[in-house]
Amino acid sequence: MRICVYEDPKDLGLHAAQVGAQKIRESLAKDPVVSIILATGASQFTMLEALLKMPNIDWSRVEMFHLDEYVGLDISHPASFRKYLKERVANKLPNLKAFHYINADEKDLDKEVKRVSELISKRKIAVAFIGIGENGHLAFNDPPANVETKDPYLVVTLDKACRLQQVGEGWFPSVEDVPAQAVTMSIHQILESDCIVCTVPDERKAPAVKMALTAPIEALYPCAYLRLHKNCYLMLDSPAASDVLTKA
């Protein structure tokens, strides 16, 4: 794992985008179509903005998957991850090859999970752009996470800490408004990516960053599994790194 610390979220987002963009370019030089994974949430704002401005990327040969979506939430809802990614990414890349959304408001949810699982299982993922939750989750794999499954996507129940984070970031007015379940990419599938760019700003994420770097690699600490990946970049701003920086 490479640990990179920057002064502020904007600088962090720019450097995370540069790392990911270079990996995309390298893959485009070898493969006709490149698949990547995008996360959502406040932690990804500056990275995504910078990524779309990176030069020399043929987006017409890039397809995207996203990490998770709330069960039963319509795409028009302000907290919908499909809405987030359509507005911040897909609509700004009109020549993008494809964006494979999780339609978690489908009546037959099992069928939808199977559909996106089959799609991604046929792809080699060049880069996964992800974050870490305040409770240490990866995607919506809250502790204790299902670390045994090899299924690419699964339905999970969100714990209270995760739901409180969504309220704290302003996506929902109260914890009761946060859906109880989500479709999420599994930890196994995330770790199958050739490269992981994990962007983590903000002091409120400092305990989770420490967890990622020092906690036992087990179900209670999902983000610690990033240490098993051979090509993971943990990209932090100074506040997020404050619990692990060596103090003079």
The predicted-structure confidence for 99-114, as pLDDT tens digits, reads as follows 999 999 989 999 999 9
Residue-level pLDDT at 246: 63
CA dist 51 and 36 (Å) reads 12
- The set of residues, in sequence order, having a beta carbon less than 8 Å from that of 157 and lying 6+ positions away, is 142, 180, 181
Q: What is the pLDDT of residues 189-216, one digit of tens each?
A: 999 999 999 999 999 999 999 999 999 9
| Percent of the chain predicted with pLDDT > 70 | 99
In this prediction, residue 247 has a pLDDT band, given cuts at 50, 70 and 90, of: low
What is the SS3 assignment for the chain?
Answer: CEEEEECCHHHHHHHHHHHHHHHHHHHHCCCCCEEEEECCCHHHHHHHHHHCCCCCCCHHHEEEEECEEECCCCCCCCCCHHHHHHHHCHHHCCCCCEEECCCCCCCCHHHHHHHHHHHHHCCCEEEEEECCCCCCCECCECCCCCCCCCCCEEEEECCHHHHHHHHHCCCCCCHHHCCCEEEEECHHHHHCCCEEEEEECCHHHHHHHHHHHHCCCCCCCHHHHHHHCCCEEEEEECCCCCCCCCCC
User: Is the pLDDT score of 63 beyond 80?
Assistant: yes
Please name each of the domains of the chain with its CATH number.
2-233 (3.40.50.1360)
Q: What is the pLDDT of residues 131-158, one digit of tens each?
A: 999 999 999 999 999 999 999 999 999 9
Mean pLDDT for 21-45 is: 96
Q: Which residue has the tokens 């897909």?
A: 90
Residue-level pLDDT at 101: 96
User: What strand order describes the sheet that includes 195-200?
Assistant: 2-6, 232-237, 195-200, 125-130, 34-38, 62-66, 98-100
In this prediction, residue 248 has a pLDDT band, given cuts at 50, 70 and 90, of: very low
Mean pLDDT for 115-120 is: 98
Mean pLDDT for 151-176 is: 94
Average pLDDT, the chain: 96
